[in-house]
Amino acid sequence: MTVNVSKPAINVREKLAELDKPTGIAGEAMLRAETPQEQFNLIGAGRRNLIINGAMQVAQRGTSVTSQQEGTDTFVVDRWFSRVSLTSATVTMDVSQEVDAPEGFRYSFKTEINGSQSSLSSGDQFKTEHRIEGQNLIGAGFGTSTPKYITLSFWFKSSVAGKTCVAFVNNGNDMSYVAPFNVNSAATWEYKTVTLIAPDNTATWVTDNGIGLRIRFGTFGSSLQTSTTGKWISGQYMSTSDSIDYTKADGSYWQITGVQLELGKVATPFEHRSFGEELALCQRYYYKGGVIGGRTGVSAGYTSSSTSVRWTFVTPSNMRATPTYSAGSNPYAADNGTNREVSSVSVLGATQNTISMIGTIAGSGSHRSLTINYGSSQNFKLDAEL
């Protein structure tokens, strides 16, 4: 004889939620996860953070710039820049890497207003921006028919309490997502999270080595403000009309650190990478040849004639694009115990990891081996920033 027994279906998540023993914050997050990928992210398997230098540790260019003027992009901490764009007033900004951060971090990126103005002009911008390379966002499905949820988390400190915004903008500056958040207490580190779904295929999203996504904080004029928040909209918008206007008071500031962008609906603990790994990621976009104890040999070279010298840089990382070269002064060529200045320096050819240079030298001979070096107060720079 066959006996058939049936039981009503149950919802495991609901039953677990009814247990007297609490699951804790992490357990609840695991229960809320809707896909295996979200659970994979929550247990910390694999790389999560799409932001480079989110802890503001690496600062190859220096640690501060004062009185930043209109129309310039200024980098202090790597991969983050600030910009002033205004039509009439003379307000400037100071930007700096600060040894001031919440527990678990050492550094933050501070933007401080110099001067004040009674009101913003329509196109004014006082911003901090991070750009993510397009091919690093492929997993989020930007611009596809299957977009994924992403979550931004960060620590924020402001001299002014009130509402402000973080904005997500595409490469063409023609599609935006504005997410307001509240600064509850002035001059206090506060943890913030924003969850959104990546945009679908209604706009153009770069998936190569160009700008995939811009993330912006700051103060913006009326033409860059919107009343539509929490959704993707056409156009370039970064804030709302009732957002904090940091330009109303001299010395107003905002600071950020611990910035993380990851797949999924849950903000996980910040992914701390080693300083060496973070530096290597930054050097894909910018590399500064360092000086250790006086002059530093940076490359082997040779004289192709009695007045011409050639040498090649090999970068430590494959750079995002063919970089541009700059230096604060002419290099020198160590020639049989004599340092000879190299003038009229130019680039012969370049790839993403090799830069061939040529310059003019006096007093040497043809077909001699030399070491190219820079003085103790100077460096050369290779720039492939987005």
* The dihedral sign for the CA sequence 110, 129, 175, 50: negative
Kind plus residue range of the DSSP H or E element containing 288: strand 286-288
41: left (phi over 0), alpha (psi -120 to 50) or beta: alpha
Rounded Cα–Cα distance for residues 159 and 175 (Å): 30
- Supply the pTM of this predicted model: 0.88
pLDDT digits (tens, 9 = 90+) for 316-345: 889 999 999 998 888 988 888 888 899 999
Return the pLDDT at 368.
Answer: 87
Within 157-270, residue ranges assigned H as helices are none
pLDDT digits (tens, 9 = 90+) for 183-235: 999 999 999 999 999 998 777 899 999 999 999 999 999 999 999 999 999 99
Return the pLDDT at 292.
Answer: 47
